[in-house]
Structure 1
Amino acid sequence: MDKVDVFTIGFTKSNAENFFERLLKAGVKKVVDVRLHNTSQLAGFAKADDLVYFLKKLGGIQYVHQPLLAPTDNILKAYKKEKGDWSVYQGRFLDLMSERKIERRLKPEMLEGACLLCSEATPHNCHRRLVCEYLNDKWGQPLEVKHL
Structure 2
Amino acid sequence: MKLYTIGFTKKSAEEFFNILKKNDIKKILDIRLNNSSQLAGFTKGNDLMYFLETICGIKYEHNIELAPTKEILSDYKNKKISWNEYENQFIDLINKRNLGNKILAKYVDEVDGICLLCSESTAENCHRRLVAEYIKNNLHHYDIEIVHL
Judge same fold: TM > 0.5, yes or no.
Answer: yes
Distance in 1 between the 2:66 and 2:111 partners? 13
The aligned counterpart of 2:36 is 39
Partner of 1:57: 54
Cα distance in 2 for residues equivalent to 1:22 and 1:10 = 11
Partner of 2:120: 120
Residue pairs, 1:5-84, within 5 angstroms: 5-82=2-79, 84=81
**Matched length:** 145
Task: Report the 3-state secondary structure (helix = DSSP H, G, I; strand = E; otherwise coil) of the residue aligned with 2:110.
Answer: helix
Task: Give 2:122's aligned amino acid.
Answer: T
* Superposition TM-score, scaled by structure 2 size: 0.92
Relative to structure 2, which stretch is displaced further, 136-145 or 67-76? 136-145
Aligned position for 1:133: 133
State the distance in 1 between where 2:69 and 2:2 align: 27
Kindly indicate whether the alpha-carbon contact (under 8 Å) linking 2:2 and 2:145 is maintained by their aligned counterparts in 1: yes
Q: Given residue 89 of structure 1, which amino acid in structure 2 is its aligned partner?
A: Y
Q: Which runs of 5+ in 1 are unaligned?
A: none
**Which of 94, 98, 101 is matched with 1:101 structurally?**
98
What's the C-alpha RMSD, in Å, of the aligned pairs? 1.2
One-letter amino acid of the counterpart of residue 139, structure 1: L
Tell me what 1:85 maps to: 82
Q: Any unmatched runs of 5+ in structure 2?
A: none
Partner deviation per Cα, 1:65-95 (whole Å, 9 max, x = no partner): 0111000000000001345310000000000
Q: What's the TM-score once normalised by structure 1's chain length? A: 0.93
